Amino acid sequence: MKKRKSILSYILLIIGVVILVNILADRFFLRLDFTGDKRYTLSPATKNILHSINETVTVTAYFSEELPADFARLRRDFKEELIEYSNRSNGKVMFEFINPNKDEASEQKAMQEGINPVLINVREKDQVKQQKAYLGAVVHYGDKKEVIPIIQPGAAMEYSLSTSIKKMSLENKTKIAFLEGHKESPLNSMIQVMQSLSILYDVEPVNLQDSAANLDKYKTLVIVDPKDTIPESHFAKLDAFLASGKNIYIAMNRVNGNLQTASGTVVSTGLETWLERKGVRVNPNFVVDQNCGSVTVNQQQGYMTFQSNMKFPYLPLITKFAETPATKGLTSVLLQFTSSIDYLAVNKDVTFTPLAFTSERSGTENPPLTFNINRNWQQTDFPLSNLTVGGLLSGKIAGAMPSRLIVVSDGDFPYNGEGQQARQIPADNLNFIVNAIDWLSDDTGLIDLRTKEVNSRPLDQMSDGKKAFLKYFNFLLPVLLIIGVGIVRWQYRRNLRMKRMNENYI
């Protein structure tokens, strides 16, 4: 009887603990993040944004229900993210979830708000069919509204949500100028850069030939790929800009590679001379790297013409970066026809920090030269290592006030192109320029989020032997573990049986 009462008390105690845990879990939200990149942990930038908002933020999430497991997990992750936003903002972030698929009125409302359905693949009874699903959200702050058409998993979710709140809560945006008048890359040829910068900044073109041009209102001046000679009077204005404590970002070509004519030539605009007076020499050479991108080549085989991708060392894939706010989190940037950078140390009041480097097997070639796509590259063609292709000059560069100057020896890496020739650039190419401009202009901390969502670790950087080892290791390890557990259990039961037989015998 006592034993029965004890069991009953034990069961009631367990039930009470479960109820108490559920009550506490409902009142207090706790999420443990064991991921390597902390994708489920709110960044300091997000926490600062949530602490600074003055009005209530309302998030209306339009999410379909009864979706496949991956999308159901995305819905759950987004809801947990919103709960944490609400807790961190002391209740200033409120949210609701609406299932647009439940009726036609809800679906119409979602589409009117700017959330359009996407088609996802659903497997049912060994068949794959497409299903219409809604995976977006609308963020309201006062009378302002931002639409997130598709919620992306991981850190991209936090970046989209935090930048939307930050954009609406900003009253006066910092101004950034892009230099024009010397055949620089036009703003409409860098669509992704403009879209990213316009979230937090007012971006304007400025022509120094215009007598009314006033650089005083800008925090940062950006120069991308000038092709014409820059007059000395313009450099005087750049010096005055730096002397006032402002910052400059430069992405320039010291050499030009033309694949149509298979030729490489030197580019001279005067910018290289001005930089050399500051202590930064962009050398008139082509960097080659064994770790590189590819070009598409037409090949003839009999009567057939086919396209193939061939490694082209003049397109170095940069994977080594300094640990600075401007480059933190970057993993791979594809440059094209870049040059090496040297520091001359002409001014003791400034310091130079290399930001981006080539691989351990790289080299340089001097123009003029002719490109040979079918060249058989040897190890001896890459005698150098860790060449600098991007650097930061900081200190009293042009006056008594400290300023910063970033130089990248490739003016084409942020280029999307124009019209039908436009193309998407790699994610880290975008981050390489936007993060640096963000850091020079107004370090909001969103740099960490922008790079946090990109974790490119391509397998082609591994040797073939290592790839094969990992492949078979991942395949065989579970099998060997199961066999090992089976052998241990068999041996244990055998020993136990032998022990019982000996005891009975005695």
What is the rounded distance in angstroms from the CA atom of residue 245 to the CA atom of residue 395? 9
Domain covering 23-167 assigned CATH 3.10.20.30 in the classification: no
Long-range contacts of 414-417 (CB under 8 A, 24+ apart): 414/185, 414/190, 414/192, 414/193, 414/224, 414/251, 415/185, 415/189, 415/190, 415/225, 416/189, 416/190, 416/191, 416/192, 417/189
Cβ 197 vs Cβ 218: under 8 Å: no
Residue 299 forms beta bridges with which residues? 306
At the top level of CATH, which class does the domain 174-457 belong to? alpha beta
Query: What local confidence, expressed as pLDDT, does residue 456 receive?
Result: 47
Give every CB contact of residue 84 below 8 A, 6+ residues apart in sequence.
29, 31, 42
What's the chain's Rg over C-alpha atoms?
Answer: 30
Full pLDDT tens readout for the chain, 506 residues: 555 666 666 677 777 776 776 666 555 555 555 555 555 677 778 888 888 888 899 999 999 888 888 888 889 989 988 999 998 888 899 999 999 988 888 899 999 999 998 888 777 666 777 788 899 999 999 888 999 998 876 657 888 888 888 888 887 888 999 999 999 999 999 999 999 898 889 999 999 998 788 899 999 999 999 999 999 999 999 999 999 999 999 999 999 999 889 999 999 999 999 999 999 999 999 999 999 999 887 666 656 666 678 899 999 999 999 999 889 889 999 999 999 999 998 889 999 999 999 999 999 999 999 999 889 999 999 999 999 999 999 999 998 899 999 999 999 999 998 877 788 999 899 999 999 999 999 766 666 666 665 444 454 555 667 777 777 777 777 778 888 888 888 888 888 878 777 765 55
- The Cα-based distances of 348 to 243, 275, 278, 332, 394 in angstroms read 16, 16, 11, 33, 11
How do the domains of the chain map onto residue ranges?
23-167, 174-457
Q: Which two tokens stand for residue 28?
A: 């207090």
